[in-house]
A = this chain, B = another copy of it.
Amino acid sequence: MTSKPHVLIVGAGAIGSFYGAILKRAGCRVGLVLRSEYDAVAANGIQIDSPLGDLSFRPDDLLRDGDELESAPDYLILCVKVLPGVDRAALVKPWMGKSTRLVLIENGLDIERELAEAYPDNPLISCLAFIAVSRTAPGRVDHKAYGKLVMGRYPQGIDDNAQALSALFTEGGISIDLTEQVVGERWRKCLWNTPFNPLSVLANGADTRTMLETEGGEALIRAMMQEVSAVAEADGHPLPQDMIDKNISGTRKMPPYKNSMALDYLNNRPIELDAVLGNVVAIAHRHNVPVPHLTTVLVALKMREPQ
């Protein structure tokens, strides 16, 4: 790696643009692959309002699908949504070099496998983003709060590549939790997301308070969390026993809010149903863990007309 690491971000929405800006602040060469927002970003760069200051930047490379780079990036950071129609392995192929580290900043469970299988010789770093950020216009991003990444080598461990990337993000101004068990961390995040996110879509975008205070609502969410917990345990990633109570009481203490999947639904954007719920149900089937509540939510959402 040169003294100025070369980063390419594929899927530069709110998340990708934000973490690109952080790496730009850390001195990296940062390129973006864009589709519909290409012209806006070519004209004005990426504008980011943030409590960290003005993070706006001009990308060092600006590409569309199929454009070539003269050299493969050191880090290819994939931030696209995980959707059934999107072949992520094919998407990154034009820019994957022999030693490119593939980095995922994406939601859900069991989302790394197809990339690990497609690029078995490239290091794979899996990240969970804890951040409140949204895209307000082409090339414009509003960073409201947080930004921490939980990061580890996939399927487990912390290697030099994760260490080095962590140092860059830290230098750029955000905090990183390196973890030996990134899959376990995904299960921890799914304990909340898997019930709340898809259920809020079934409930036509209900907020957290409405969901918890509906008659039978907290009991249903707890039952779904119990199912997630049972699947996590069967999959080798047992969750702490008090984690359900803490998730419920923590959510009750927060102001009511609509989660990201509810907002995607309300804005007619596709939802990451399989990444957040379908894969959990599939793993449950592999381990013969009964998940009637999760299955009902999954199938009811699949019955909706394609969006």
Interface residues of A (CB under 8 A from B): 199-200, 202-204, 206, 210-211, 214-217, 219-220, 223, 292-293, 295-305
Contact A292 B303 (CB under 8 A): no
Choose among A204, A214, A296 the residue with the greatest number of B CB atoms under 10 Å from its CB: A296
Residues of B within 8 A of A220 (CB): 295-296, 299-300
Q: A202-B300, A223-B292, A292-B223 are in contact. Are A305 and B210 (CB under 8 A)?
A: yes
Copies of this chain in the oligomer: 2
8 Å CB contact of A292 from B202, B204, B293, B300: B293
CB distance from A211 to the nearest CB of B (A): 5
Query: Within the complex, which residue of B206, B217, B293, B300 is in contact with A203, where a contact is CB–CB below 8 Å?
Result: B300
B293, A215: Cβ atoms closer than 8 Å: no
Give Cα A198–Cα B301 distance, bound, in whole angstroms: 13
Contact across chains for A299 and B206 when beta carbons are under 8 A apart: no
Q: Which listed residue, B199, B223, B303, B304, touches A300 by the CB 8 Å rule?
A: B199
Q: A204-B305, A293-B293, A293-B295 are in contact. List 20 more A-B contacts (CB 8 A).
A: A202-B202, A202-B300, A203-B301, A203-B304, A206-B303, A210-B303, A211-B303, A214-B302, A215-B299, A215-B302, A216-B295, A216-B302, A217-B299, A217-B302, A220-B295, A220-B300, A292-B292, A292-B293, A297-B300, A300-B300
Give the docked Cα–Cα distance between A300 and B197 (Å): 12
18 residue pairs A–B, Cβ–Cβ below 8 Å: A199-B303, A202-B202, A202-B303, A203-B300, A203-B303, A210-B303, A214-B303, A215-B299, A216-B295, A216-B299, A216-B302, A217-B303, A219-B299, A223-B295, A293-B293, A296-B297, A297-B300, A300-B300
Rounded to whole angstroms, the CA-CA distance of A214 and B273 in the bound complex is 14
In the assembled complex, the CB of A14 is this many whole angstroms from the nearest CB of chain B, namely: 27
Beta-carbon contact of A296 and B296 below 8 Å: yes
Chain B proximity of A259: nearest CB distance (Å)? 13
Point out the residues of chain B lying under 8 angstroms from A293, CB to CB. Answer: 292-293, 295-296
Residues of B with C-beta under 8 A to A304: 203-204, 206
Q: How far is the CA of A223 from the CA of B292 in the complex (A)?
A: 9
Which among A220, A292, A300 has the highest number of chain B CB atoms within 10 Å? A300
Q: In the complex, which of the residues A203, A204, A223, A292 has the most CB atoms of chain B within 10 Å of its own CB atom?
A: A292
**Which B residue sits closest to A290, measured CB to CB?**
B292
Report how far A292 CA is from B216 CA in the complex, Å. Answer: 12
**Complex formed: what's the CA distance from A302 to B214 in Å?**
7
